[in-house]
Structure 1
Amino acid sequence: MACGDDDLAEGFRSAPVALALSRHRIIQACNRAFAALFRAEADALAGRSLALIYPSVDAFADVVEHWLGPLRDGAEFADERFMKRGDGDVFWCRVAGRSLTPADPLARAVWSFAELPTPPHLDQALSRRERDVACHVARGRTSKEIAKLMGLSPRTVEGHRLRLMRKLKVSNAAELNVRMGGGVI
């Protein structure tokens, strides 16, 4: 027995996995699980940039270079990263995607999202700001670069780095960079 369009649409809306369809990185449709995960109304997300669910505009921009090759090849690409809910809460998430148009990978794509426990090396009761700084540290950015991206003073970023070092029990910035590099893209 074949499914009709109404059955497929309801299946998408009711799927237990957070799903979104995008065109050129704009959310075209998302299901109830996606809306619940990101603490937003599904209707309010349609037509909005996927940047909305990234911890920073920079993180949204950086991910493209990692995904384009596999998406162009027609493969699924997945990684784990910090994402941001509608209320600003930052959480660890597995993101998987596949292009529906490999010749133009971001023209049409389908994405799934699954919240994961924060990895032990990052799960030390980090504040939202510390998590945001941690994302940038993982990308090898300097305090000055992070400050500019986050609209903070370099001294404030240094304070967050220092607290991260204490919480993660590392003694210098090089060890912090190594510790933060695991799994974050």
Structure 2
Amino acid sequence: MSFEGGELVLGFRMAPVALALSKHRIIHACNDAFATLFRREVEMLTGRSLAQIYPCVDDFAAVVDRWMAPLRERGLFADERFMKRSDGEIFWCRVAGQTLTPADPLALAVWSFTELPTPVHLDGALSRRERDVACHVARGRTSKEIAKLLGLSPRTVEGHRLRLMRKLQVRNAAELNALVEARLV
């Protein structure tokens, strides 16, 4: 069975799973399911950095260290993490990637994204802002750092941390960090 070039392009575009082809972490192509998942138009995603779908630039920068060894060794990488839609909503996602250039893993790679239910200990009655804060807590950020990233006051972030601690039934910030980090990192 052989396919014409147009059929392959149509198949990629209409695939029922969110797919993106990246060149050096820039979206070279993406399909309609990817655009729908991240609530953007394909044209608004293509040619732009994958950083736009991460909760913050620091998360985007940090994840590459975790990707490189598996991509070089096996050509594949997969994990679960928070991602961000264009309207700022943070959601739990399974990300799987395969490099097409093993010598330079990020030169050309294909990625799939699948929205997952938020892990039970992070779900329940967590508000969108509490999820944002939990994501940053998992990265070891202080309330002051989180406040700056989210455009909030440090006192507001502390309030969100306290509510997270109550909802997740932990006694202190160290337990909160450990619980969230164990699941997100």
Taking structure 2 as the reference length, the TM-score comes to 0.94
Residue 142 (structure 1) shift = 2.4
SS of the aligned residue for 1:77 comes to: strand
Instruction: Kindly report which structure 2 residues correspond to 1:157-172, keeping only aligned pairs within 5 A, or say none.
Output: 157-172=157-172
Q: 1:46: which partner in 2?
A: 46
1:57-108 CA distance string (max 9 Å, x none): 1111111111011112243111100101111111100001111112111111
Q: 1:140: which partner in 2?
A: 140
1:84-143 CA distance string (max 9 Å, x none): 111111110000111111211111110000000000010022222211211121122222
Residue 149 (structure 1) shift = 3.6
Q: How many pairs are equivalent?
A: 185
Q: 1:123: which partner in 2?
A: 123
Instruction: Kindly report which structure 2 residues correspond to 1:69-148, keeping only aligned pairs within 5 A, or say none.
Output: 69-148=69-148
Output the amino acid matched with 2:68: L
Q: Which runs of 5+ in 1 are unaligned?
A: none
CA contact (8 A) 2:95 2:111 kept: yes
Residue 153 (structure 1) shift = 3.1
Distance 1:107 1:75 in 2: 12
Distance 2:139 2:48 in 1: 26
Q: Of Structure 1 and Structure 2, which has the larger fraction of its residues in helix? A: 2
Taking structure 1 as the reference length, the TM-score comes to 0.94
CA contact (8 A) 1:17 1:114 kept: yes
Distance 2:14 2:5 in 1: 14
- Alignment partner of 1:23 is 2:29: no
Distance 1:32 1:98 in 2: 20
- Alignment partner of 1:8 is 2:13: no
CA contact (8 A) 2:75 2:105 kept: no
Q: 1:64: which partner in 2?
A: 64
- Alignment partner of 1:177 is 2:177: yes
Distance 1:104 1:148 in 2: 35
SS of the aligned residue for 1:124 comes to: coil
Alignment root-mean-square deviation, CA: 1.4
1:8-38 CA distance string (max 9 Å, x none): 1111011111000011111111001101111
Distance 2:151 2:36 in 1: 29
Q: Which runs of 5+ in 2 are unaligned?
A: none
Distance 2:100 2:126 in 1: 37
Output the amino acid matched with 1:46: T
